Amino acid sequence: MTFKPYPHAVADGSLGRGLTLLREKIARRVALGPYDSQVSIGLRRDLSVAVSAPEARIAVSLRPFRQEDLPLLFPAGGDASARSELVDVEWRLRATAYGALPSRCFVAVDERSGCPCHIQWLTERGYSEAVRRAGALPALADDEAMLENAFTPVAYRGLGVMAAAINLIAERASALGKRYLLAFVDADNHASLKGVERAGLTPWSIRTKRQFGFGLFRTVRFDAIATNAAPNVRSIAAGGAGRAGGRSEPS
């Protein structure tokens, strides 16, 4: 299926919501500035090895995303992180609908109320080279799946929901025949790093993204973590882990 560049165009020939999205894209480019770099920690879990299931402070279950979950996860007047994540979720929903992104969206549900309390994506091999470069993503093997775009609403943060959701998603990945579960988390996102680590993922690589000229030129480098470094998340975030070499490429 062909990816439509203007999926929000309407019958009168205008771009409809597409114009709003274009303005948001321009604003994000300007916000990047002339130069920026970002370091993320790549973590991995071998799904053939049993781990202790992390428990949230509330009972949660997992199910596929439904369209009616959006206003509950991202209510009007949300904080900046929620507004930014909503833009990404809307893009990912369009990309999966048009076959450009082989990704499944899951939500964790608060069993007390039935309300969604966390959203996260499970991506498999098969995304296009353009999507891979734009997202600074690794080339996945057939037995790998990757966690992406985790978000927990403010009211549910600090309850251990993310770690519990990841463990439930790991079970789905294993049922799909995957051996490894990957995730990349910004090195300064300590809360997410803690949640991913609680779910049994351990440091595996370091990704360094650089952009020049308001995002017009981008590079990404993946460095394997030295096996003799035995690092944990905190040591890597502090810059204390050894790198075993890697590769750079334009993105």
Q: What is the pLDDT of residue 75?
A: 93
Q: How far apart are CA 94 and CA 75, in angstroms?
A: 20
Q: How confident is the model at residue 107 (pLDDT cuts 50, 70, 90)?
A: very high
Residue 226 resides in a domain: yes
Closest of 124, 100, 127 to residue 2, by C-alpha: 100
* DSSP letters for 30-96: HHH-SEEEEEEEEEEEETTS--PPP--SS-EEEEE--GGGHHHHS-TT--HHHHHHHHHHHHHHHHH
Q: Residue 7: pLDDT above 50?
A: no
State the average pLDDT for the chain. Answer: 85
Residue 4 resides in a domain: no
Q: How far apart are CA 178 and CA 170, in angstroms?
A: 9
Residue 42 resides in a domain: yes
Tens digit of each residue's pLDDT (9 = 90 or more) over 131-173 = 787 778 899 999 999 999 999 999 999 999 999 999 999 999 9
Residue 145 resides in a domain: yes
How many domains are contained in the chain?
A: 1
Q: How far apart are CA 72 and CA 52, in angstroms?
A: 30
Residue 20 resides in a domain: no
Q: How far apart are CA 71 and CA 86, in angstroms?
A: 10
Residue 26 resides in a domain: no
Structural domain for 68, as ranges:
31-250
* DSSP letters for 122-181: EEES---HHHHHHTT-----TTEEEEEEEE--GGGTTSSHHHHHHHHHHHHHHHTT-SEE
Residue 25 resides in a domain: no
Which CATH number do you get for residue 212? 3.40.630.30
- Please give the residue that has the higher pLDDT: either 175 or 33: 175
Asked if 43 and 199 count as a contact pair (C-beta separation under 8 A), the reply is no
Burial of 84 (0-12, 13-18, 19+ CB in 10 A): middle
In 10 A of CB 14, how many CB atoms?
Answer: 12
pTM, to two decimals: 0.79
Q: What is the pLDDT of residue 128?
A: 76
Asked if 174 and 47 count as a contact pair (C-beta separation under 8 A), the reply is yes
Residue 57 resides in a domain: yes
Mean pLDDT is lowest, of 31-35, 88-92, 208-212, for: 31-35
Q: What is the pLDDT of residue 211?
A: 87
Q: What is the pLDDT of residue 102?
A: 93
